Amino acid sequence: MGSADRSTFTILGASGFIGAALVAWLESHDQVVHAVTRAVLPALLTGRRQAGHVIDCVGLTGDFRARPLDTAEAHVGLVARCLGELRFESFLLLSSTRVYARASATHEDTAVPALPADPSDLYNVTKLAGEALCLADPRPTIRVVRLSNVYGIGMPAETFLGQVLHEGHETGGAVFRESPASTQDYVSTTAVVRLLPVIAANGRQRIYNVAAGSNTSHAAIAYCLRDIAGWHIGFAPDAPTVRHPTIDTARLEAEFGPTASNLVADLPMLLALAQEHPYSPSTRPMAA
């Protein structure tokens, strides 16, 4: 993407981790970017101006259990208002591969059950409701991306990896709350910011998984942190083993190629650069 195909992008949640990285990438590629934070969001909704390609990066992460109403507003209410009130060429909602937690498979068209009585499922239920609003809309340029665990410079300390790196830099060590055999998928911000604009503008499908397509174990992360940084890495006594499902990326790769994300290979760079970028947990009503 370059000046030859210059487009207008409106990024909702432009001060958040992914939103800010996306704004920086688009601007570096000479795109017209409207960076929308929570403070100016009402004006955007009432202004009725053409917003171009809208990418909705607004959402809550680690604090969703304590803020259920804010979570519903960010994941459902805002989506409904955007679809009803904005004028756009395309609209791309960022959802999460967390919705597969209770599913038997992880391709985009699989059934994704949830247990509303479980507070941990509040995030999944509200994300799925936002997805449903998008996919029920007949306009073909309204799409959904289910993002895996995104890593990169400036990642929030409330994420697993962000917390580990923050703790390590502060104390020279970290304690994992899950066992060495625990695994999950990690995708880099470099891949995410490259893919989101082309999916928004040119995606042939309505929904995509954006993930590495393979899991990394806590043991591999721990060994890497010990070897590279010399940190003392421990595991909590009786730490549970949590193996997240491997995310199906066949649809994404068929259209756009693999994400080429490799957390272990990227950890040396993250460790070197993280000293210059503080980690800060979200304290805003909406991560914007």
Give the bridge partners for 208, in sequence order.
Answer: 145
Cα Rg for the chain, rounded, in angstroms? 19
Query: For residue 202, what are its two tokens?
Result: 């040119």
Q: Which two tokens stand for residue 194?
A: 């490259």
Please indicate, yes or no, if residue 284 is contained in any of the structural domains.
no
Q: Is residue 35 part of a domain?
A: yes
User: Quick one: pLDDT at residue 73?
Assistant: 94
Domain for residue 15, yes or no?
Answer: yes
Consecutive H or E run containing 74 = none
- Quick one: tokens of 136? 């029920």
The verdict on residue 150 lying in a domain is yes
pLDDT at 165: 92
Please indicate, yes or no, if residue 224 is contained in any of the structural domains. no
The enclosing H or E element of 135 equals: helix 122-136
Distances, alpha carbon 234 to alpha carbons 44, 47, 160, 201, 266, in Å: 47, 53, 15, 45, 21
Q: According to the model, what pLDDT value does residue 154 have?
A: 86
Using CA atoms, how far apart are residues 112 and 251, in angstroms rounded to an integer?
Answer: 18
Domain that holds residue 102: 3-155+185-213+245-262
221 within domain boundaries: no
CATH of the domain at 130: 3.40.50.720
One pLDDT digit (tens) per residue for the chain, 288 residues:
654 578 999 999 999 999 999 999 999 999 999 999 988 888 888 887 889 999 999 988 767 888 889 999 999 999 999 999 999 999 999 999 999 999 999 999 999 999 999 988 999 999 999 999 999 999 999 999 999 999 998 888 888 999 999 999 999 999 999 999 999 999 999 999 999 999 999 999 999 999 999 999 999 999 999 999 999 999 999 999 999 999 999 999 999 999 999 999 999 998 888 665 554 443 333 343
Among 88, 139, 80, 100, CA closest to 247: 100
Closest by alpha carbon to 162, among 262, 285, 61?
61
**Is residue 162 a part of any domain in this protein?**
no
Q: Which residue has the tokens 């997240």?
A: 244
Cα atoms found within 13 Å of the Cα of residue 161, Cβ hemisphere only? 29
Residue 194 forms part of a structural domain: yes
In 3D space, the residue among 270, 257, 179 whose CA is nearest the CA of residue 213 turns out to be: 257
Distances in Å between the Cα of 6 and the Cα atoms of 28, 69, 117, 191, 197 are: 12, 38, 47, 20, 11
DSSP string, 12-51: ETTTSHHHHHHHHHHHHTT-EEEEE-TTTHHHHHHH--B-
DSSP letter at 275 equals T
Looking at residue 237, what is its pLDDT? 94
Looking at residue 273, what is its pLDDT?
A: 80
Domain count, the chain: 1
CB atoms within 10 A of CB 13: 28
The span from the CA of 186 to the CA of 210, in Å, is 10
